[in-house]
Chain A
Amino acid sequence: GQQLNQSPQSMFIQEGEDVSMNCTSSSIFNTWLWYKQDPGEGPVLLIALYKAGELTSNGRLTAQFGITRKDSFLNISASIPSDVGIYFCAGHSNYQLIWGAGTKLIIKP
């Protein structure tokens, strides 16, 4: 079946640093979505990408839909403490979202 490889699995960064994470797949997706999950909460949609090559920003977050439609990345600039959490990518195929395993972001004090 379709799978997404999300990396890195976890990141330890200093406040103020930029963050980059990505997802790759052997399959083509028509939509890429990026979510963030805080402890004890459901995932919250951050950015949705619908066109190959699309680059979309949401505040300090920037995400791109790879031109091959098999990958996507999410960048966070100038990280702040509230950025901690687990970030998930998801690719849409048919009627399902295929989910990455998540990237856990930890900000060192």
Chain B
Amino acid sequence: GAGVSQSPSNKVTEKGKDVELRCDPISGHTALYWYRQSLGQGLEFLIYFQGNSAPDKSGLPSDRFSAERTGGSVSTLTIQRTQQEDSAVYLCASSPESAYTYEQYFGPGTRLTVT
């Protein structure tokens, strides 16, 4: 079946502009995660959605970052007033989050460059 998809694959924006990044999780997966990965670095957790529960926003680095998940499926990560330090690859992952597995499946990421 289809995996996690993300769009756009690349985004170049000017400092101060707002950007929206989209994630389509695997159908039926109840959990959705956003991560940020700077060049050559590990994964930085941003936000987690599980079903209809309130999202865990503890990883968002500032109030310029927000995310929504509509209808328990598609998610949008919004970065307002982008800064150069926001440049990174933004990865989305989904998980079935059953009692038996916590495996996360990743999309290809969106490479964001803030000029």
Q: Which B residues are CB-close (under 8 A) to A31?
A: 102
Is A101 in contact with B103, judged by CB distance below 8 angstroms? no
Question: B77 on the interface (CB 8 Å rule)?
Answer: no
B residues near A90, Cβ cutoff 8 Å: 104
Contact of B42 among A40, A50, A99 (CB under 8 A): A99
Q: Are A33 and B103 in contact (CB under 8 A)?
A: yes
The interface residues of chain A, by DSSP majority, are classed as: strand
Give chain B's interface secondary structure class: loop
> A96 touching B106 by the CB < 8 A rule?
no
Say yes or no for A88: interface residue by CB 8 A criterion.
Answer: yes
B108 partner residues in chain A, CB cutoff 8 A: 40-42
B74 part of interface (Cβ distance < 8 Å) = no
Q: Is A66 an interface position by the 8 A CB rule?
A: no
Closest B residue to A104 by CB, please name it. Answer: B40
Q: Does B109 lie within 8 Å of A102, measured CB to CB?
A: no
Residues of A close to B109: CB separation below 8 A: 40-42
Assembled-state Cα–Cα distance A35/B50 (Å): 22
